[in-house]
Amino acid sequence: MKKNNKKTARADRPTVIVYKSRLLPYSETFIREQVRMLSGWRGILAGDNMVRKGLALDGLDVRLLGYRSRLLQRVANHSSRYLIWPWPRLRALKAERADLLHIHFATDAYRVWPLARQLDLPTLITLHGYDINTYASWWESGHGGRRMRKYPTGLLELARDRRVHFIAVSRAIRQSAIDFGLPEQKISVRHIGVDTGSFTPGPTPLADRRDILYVGRLVEKKGCRYLLQAFEQIQADFPEHRLVIVGSGPLEAKLKAYAAERGVRAVFLGALPAQQVRQCLDEARVFCLPSITADNGDAEGLGIVILEAQAAGVPVITSARGGAQEGIVHGVTGFAHGEKDVRAIRQDLVALLQSDELATQFGRRGREHVVASMDIVDCNQRLEELYDQHAFGRSSHAGASVKIFPRSERQCI
């Protein structure tokens, strides 16, 4: 009976293996949500190991492919550029008879491709930001580790494989990929989107809120220091307001020291799970993500949290590459500014803190914008259409011929 049920499920929904090396830090909630919200496809989330104190993956079909012993781990670390998938687990993945492999981050794709290609599946690789924006010279100089020195040339070689196609999370990332040397015809833009049913406006009116919220890792490219500097210059005029910094990272101690030394009213909450981030959005008057291009070229792809904030009815101020052009509507749902432009951040904050009417208007229109164009259900439908195109167009790599069912006839997870 179980065998028949499995065949029925396969007939109704083709299978995609979604791979990310480590499952999953809080900063990659978007991967979990994308898999969770698949409807026409059955998603298997695969990775080499679990992140300690990472995201809960309850309700997802998860496969761990990592090292079977410390000996194998040492061999992988010192004798190979690539991860080692134990053969029994590779065979287990083949037994899933999947129709498609979807790898998040080109860096992961490069490391795992010598083994992943043995699945002999059409493969989609999502480009998110650092994996395509970081300068080739940075990788080649060994800053990303000895095993990644050949990443730039290796990625271009991988791109020549007829099974491979790339997904850019924004038009800005697509252009970066073209500049990197990836074939233009092998790159499709698919926004990831957010769950507008989970991120909704909170009960407190914007006029009664006092928090300026930042959510992101505390690393160079997120630009948190520029927000601290901007608020420092206006905080005397807004004594009831404060900065709320959500996130952790290598610059945390330095940023805390700056705030303490300069007397900036800033609260550092560390990394928080999605539910608590939503609670912070419920108390936020404005959200600010002043991202920059880091010294090594790394830059924001779009910034999912920009979409989450607007879905929650919170005005956004951002310089995020992709996000400033595609994530918000400047002057309608928020303000876009140039990188490192403290003066612009200051002026935008003043405008939204002074005017309840403007903040409320931006918040309402931001919600409308995300519901209309960035809802994860719609974004996933466009993603699944790309799945259909690449899996069913190459049935010789799908393990078995698969009938294309109308979307209305497919089962939902």
User: Domains in the chain, ordered, with CATH?
Assistant: 2-193+375-409 (3.40.50.2000), 206-373 (3.40.50.2000)
Give percent of the chain above pLDDT 90: 74
Pair 364, 20: CB distance under 8 Å: no
Residue 375 has a pLDDT of 96
Does the pLDDT of residue 39 top 60, yes or no?
A: yes
Say how many Å lie between the first and final Cα of the chain, rounded.
Answer: 20
Per the model's pLDDT, the better-predicted residue between 401 and 203 turns out to be 203
Pair 121, 98: CB distance under 8 Å: yes
Residue 87 has a pLDDT of 64
Residue 405 has a pLDDT of 32
Per the model's pLDDT, the better-predicted residue between 56 and 214 turns out to be 214
Residue 73 has a pLDDT of 43
pLDDT band at 274 (very low <50, low <70, confident <90, very high): confident
Q: What is the pTM of this model?
A: 0.84
Residues facing 47 on adjacent strands = 64
In the block, residue with structure tokens 């699945």: 119
Per the model's pLDDT, the better-predicted residue between 101 and 11 turns out to be 101
Kindly report which listed range (41-55, 179-193, 259-273, 358-372) carries the lowest average pLDDT score. Answer: 41-55
Pairing state between β 266-270 and 334-336:
unpaired
What is the amino acid identity at position 388?
D
Tokens linked to 222: 């997120």
Query: HEC string of 189-206?
Result: ECCCCECCCCCCCCCCCH
pLDDT band at 70 (very low <50, low <70, confident <90, very high): very low
Residue 91 has a pLDDT of 80
Residue 324 has a pLDDT of 77
Mean pLDDT of 116-134: 94
Q: Helices (DSSP H) in 84-143: which residue ranges? A: 87-95, 106-116, 130-133, 136-140
Q: Going by C-beta distance under 8 Å and a sequence separation of 6 or more, which residues neighbour residue 318? A: 288, 289, 290, 291, 303, 306, 324, 327, 328, 334, 335, 336, 337
Per the model's pLDDT, the better-predicted residue between 265 and 9 turns out to be 265
- The radius of gyration of the chain from alpha carbons, rounded to an integer in Å, stands at 22
Exposure string of 80-94, with b = 16+ CB inside 10 Å and e = fewer, is ebebbbeeebbeebe
Torsion of CA 186, 413, 308, 175, to 10 degrees: 0
Return the closest-CA partner of residue 98 out of 405, 400, 407, 406: 400
Residue 86 has a pLDDT of 59
Mean pLDDT of 21-25: 91
